Amino acid sequence: MNECYYDKRMDFFYNQTKTDTADEWTGPQLIVVLCFGTFFCLFIFISNSLVIAAVVRNKRFHFPFYYLLANLAAADFFAGIAYVFLMFNTGPVSKTLTVNRWFLRQGLLDTSLTASLVNLLVIAVERYMSIMRMKIHSNLTKKRVTFLIISIWAIAIFMGAVPTLGWNCLCDITVCSSLAPIYSRSYLVFWSVLNLVVFFIMVVVYIRIYMYVQRKTNVLSSHTSGSISRRRTPVKLMKTVMTVLGAFVVCWTPGLVVLLLDGLNCTYCGIQDVKRWFLLLALLNSVMNPIIYSYKDDEMWGTMKRMIFCSSVDKSQDRRSSRIPSTVLCRSTDTSGHYIEDGIIQGTICGKGDLGDKGNS
């Protein structure tokens, strides 16, 4: 029976796997790293808090898509917490950590990644349901969205706790990985492959939806008298979502590939030399998302600016159309009271009779 090492400190496992813990990270270099890390984490906290507050404050964002977008911002906020904890428990400090503290450090990172990934997957399903039913927003009720958000975090916490629950190498140090000295290599293979497969599925789904919307837009544009901005709002919404997904895939894929190579025990891949850079790239993803939201959506940016400068709501600005369909919405004729897009969704302009009446008056 293999001996278990629950009472050992991390220096024992780092020595067993011959992992470099960056003992040279002292003095000025450590100060620079902490300063940059602190700046990025503060930006993550403030910017993602603004996104969440904007969704809560602006009634134009009270739809399933934006609730899920706010939850994605919450996942980025949680990632900032994970990076702060990592920042003060890495480098030479790593060897002094207990097993439980090291599990907590990595579990926070794994939970934040899973929360973002599952949230993006749910958004993909929501977009697919909405677009295929020819609607801007899905028929999800607030109760169902709340259940989905709770489920997302339950899955994220469980996945972050899997190594702690037993899938580790504390009782068989021969299968320990190099990057994560108390994670078994089989777990790293499972974790990285699972995430990469989900990446691929989401990219395929969004490309299919985008192509469908683009084709539908071209077909219906000649039969609608709506403005160009109205006809293109579904395309703009998909571009926003695809930009967020693209940034997520670009920022996280290199790190997952490195984990996969470590899980496959690739001793000649030089993974120790690039691990810190890929971790920094993953950190930048949580910085980029709020910038993408504000750049792609005038309504979101306007709401955030008003909160930053503590100014009153400008009603004239609220009536302006935003780049994505937060303001280009009209009442559906069905009894559910959900919203659909004017020109693209129905092939005619929503409220056409009202417009005609106004023209005759």
Residue 258 lies in a domain: yes
What pLDDT shows up at residue 359? 43
Residue 358 lies in a domain: no
Alpha carbon dihedral 229, 230, 231, 233, in 10-degree steps, equals 80
What pLDDT shows up at residue 232? 52
Residue 77: pLDDT above 90? Answer: yes
The count of structural domains within the chain is 1
Rounded Cα–Cα distance for residues 342 and 231 (Å): 8
Residue 272: pLDDT above 80? Answer: no
Residue 342 lies in a domain: no
Could you tell me the sign of the dihedral formed by the alpha carbons of 43, 86, 20, 166, in that order? negative
The secondary structure of residue 225, as a DSSP letter, is -
Of all residues in the chain, what percent carry a pLDDT higher than 90? 25
Rounded Cα–Cα distance for residues 360 and 346 (Å): 24
What pLDDT shows up at residue 299? 80
Top pLDDT among 282 and 99 is at 99
Looking up residue 274, the CATH number of its domain turns out to be 1.20.1070.10
The band of 276, judged by pLDDT with boundaries at 50, 70 and 90, is: confident
What pLDDT shows up at residue 244? 84
- CB distance 355 to 349 below 8 Å: yes
Burial of 131 (0-12, 13-18, 19+ CB in 10 A): buried
Residue 152 lies in a domain: yes
What pLDDT shows up at residue 138? 65
Residue 318 lies in a domain: no
**For helices 99-132 and 185-221, what crossing angle results, to 10°?**
20
Residue 241 lies in a domain: yes
| pTM, to two decimals | 0.78
The band of 343, judged by pLDDT with boundaries at 50, 70 and 90, is: very low
Rounded Cα–Cα distance for residues 85 and 216 (Å): 47
Q: How many CA atoms lie within 13 A of 33 on its CB side?
A: 20
- CB distance 177 to 264 below 8 Å: no
Domain limits for position 39: 10-16+24-221+230-309
Q: How many CA atoms lie within 13 A of 64 on its CB side?
A: 27
Tokens standing for residue 339: 């919203």
Each residue of 166-185: pLDDT tens digit? 899 898 888 888 888 899 99
Burial of 1 (0-12, 13-18, 19+ CB in 10 A): exposed
What pLDDT shows up at residue 21? 56
Phi, psi of 98 (to 5 degrees): -80, 165
Residue 3 lies in a domain: no
Rounded Cα–Cα distance for residues 266 and 177 (Å): 10
In this predicted structure, which of 4-13, 129-138, 233-242, 335-344 has the lowest mean pLDDT?
335-344
Top pLDDT among 256 and 293 is at 256
Residue 352 lies in a domain: no
